Amino acid sequence: MAKRQIPVIVLAGFLGSGKTTLLNHLLGRSGGTRIGAIVNDFGSIEIDAMSVAGQVDSMVSLGNGCLCCAVDTSELDGFLDRLSRPAARIDVIVIEASGLAEPQEVIRMILASDNKDIVYGGLVEVVDAAEFAATRARHPELDRHVAIADLVVLNKADRVGDEARREVLGVLEELAPGTPVVPASYGRIDPELLFDRKPREDDPSKTRQLSFEDLCADDEPDGHDHGSCDLDHDHDHDHDHDCHGGCDHNGHLHAAYESVEFVSEEPVDPRRLMEFLDSRPEGLYRIKGFVYFGIAGHKHKFAVHAVGDFLRFYRSSWARAEERLTQLVLIGRGVDTAALRAGLDRCRVTAGEPPAEEHSMWGVLRYAQG
Ligand SMILES: Nc1nc2c(ncn2[C@@H]2O[C@H](COP(=O)(O)OP(=O)(O)OP(=O)(O)O)[C@@H](O)[C@H]2O)c(=O)[nH]1
């Protein structure tokens, strides 16, 4: 009997549409199906990878630069090889493309792979119901992405009324006649739409998602050299967006986008950060990351997400040994990156400055969830 090939599903969608949220939903609801996730962050601070790894320890990360621009596909091929080894017992692989990736390029890479154990499993395009019309006006290329999708997830259905939803559904039907469109909130789609869900096994070790260690142990018997598997890999990367060199930007979504990355070991002042966020320039479409305020009663890890006008903080706990760091990625176009960096630098609480008082958190808490 022919060996079953592992489907590789591409999860794409514009910046902030909800890809990571959907991936985390799939990882949490996969039953006994083992998902291998490959996450492609736009910048060298791998916020998406951290957000997924925070949920389930079953992913590998292709950071810094859009996968679609990679001239050398060996890193992707290597990950696909690892995930498709019998010992990994993976049933389906999901690649979360960066929010500026050209999905057809990612698909091309999968189709070009020599790996006989995998097979291209389709394109899922996540569309932000609230932002779709405006995003499409700025980026007509998105029409093409929808047109080649095998499944469109109309996400953030909770953010639009019935009429607006019908309008978007009408446009999607025009762009991709006959393609199934599933409205969803927070990416909560039925995983069966993407893969067969096996029942959970009694032995939890058989159903748990694959860990980094599992993936890496295959190669490195001592388990120490995680190589490209390690989330903390310290590639010698530029901090500005780099497309792995030699990438032809023409027609690519990210041609006009710039990113700024900010890391602070000092706590961040909540008032100054809110001033920065409230006055963010229009072109600054996406902000994501984690913030450490270090204020009594508010020492949690605050994830922050801005997508267009939308802004939210989400409270969670730091992992036991996790360094209290603020790490932010800002992505926009026509933005003054030096001014953004300077603005963020002003948010640091410098040595000798008195700690901010508790009520200075109010501005943040207005946008906080969880
Ligand atoms: N209201 C609402 N918010 C959502 C929904 N899905 C995701 N979000 C929020 O939208 C923001 C962006 O979600 P992500 O899942 O990080 O989006 P993404 O597509 O992975 O973002 P990039 O990787 O930057 O392209 C987060 O604040 C999510 O909590 C939804 O259905 N409704």
> DSSP secondary structure string, 235-251?
----SS---SSS---TT
Average the pLDDT over 279-293 and give the result: 95
Mean pLDDT, the chain, whole residue set:
83
Mutate to test the pocket of ligand 1, among 21, 100, 106 (most ligand atoms within 8 A of CB): 21
Confidence tier at 202 by pLDDT (50, 70, 90) = low
Q: Does the pLDDT at position 223 exceed 50?
A: no
Q: How many Å lie between the centroid of ligand 1 and the Cα of residue 223?
A: 34
Per-residue pLDDT, 222:
38
From atom 21 of ligand 1, which residue's Cα is the shortest distance away? 16
Cβ contact 306:277 at 8 Å: yes
Q: pLDDT tens, 161-199? A: 999 999 999 999 999 999 999 999 999 999 999 987 766
Per-residue pLDDT, 230:
33
Q: How many Å lie between the centroid of ligand 1 and the Cα of residue 65?
A: 20
Task: Work out whether the CA dihedral 227, 323, 52, 86 comes out positive or negative.
Answer: positive
Q: Does the pLDDT at position 241 exceed 70?
A: no
Show the tokens assigned to 142: 């998105």
Per the model's pLDDT, the better-predicted residue between 223 and 75 turns out to be 75
Average the pLDDT over 126-134 and give the result: 97
Confidence tier at 73 by pLDDT (50, 70, 90) = confident
Q: pLDDT tens, 19-71? A: 999 998 998 888 888 888 888 876 667 777 777 765 554 566 665 566 666 65
Taking the model in full, what pTM does it have?
Answer: 0.84
The DSSP element (H or E) to which 162 belongs, if any, is helix 162-175
* 129 CA closest ligand 1 atom index: 31
Average the pLDDT over 83-89 and give the result: 87
Q: pLDDT tens, 251-272? A: 566 667 889 999 999 999 999 9
Q: pLDDT tens, 335-347? A: 999 999 999 999 9
What's the burial of 345, exposed, middle or buried (CB within 10 Å: 0-12/13-18/19+)? Answer: exposed
What's phi and psi for 49, nearest 5 deg?
-60, -40
Percentage of the residues of the chain whose pLDDT score is greater than 90 = 58
Determine whether the shortest distance from the Cβ of 159 to ligand 1 is under 6 A: yes
Q: Characterise 64 by phi-psi region: left (phi > 0), alpha (psi -120 to 50), beta (else).
A: left
Q: Which residues pair with 80 in a beta bridge?
A: none
Q: Across the chain, where does the E strand assignment appear?
A: 6-13, 35-39, 59-61, 92-96, 118-128, 151-155, 181-183, 257-264, 284-291, 301-307, 310-316, 326-333, 368-369
The DSSP element (H or E) to which 143 belongs, if any, is helix 141-147
Average the pLDDT over 107-128 and give the result: 95
Per the model's pLDDT, the better-predicted residue between 351 and 278 turns out to be 278
Determine whether the shortest distance from the Cβ of 158 to ligand 1 is under 6 A: yes
Average the pLDDT over 121-148 and give the result: 95
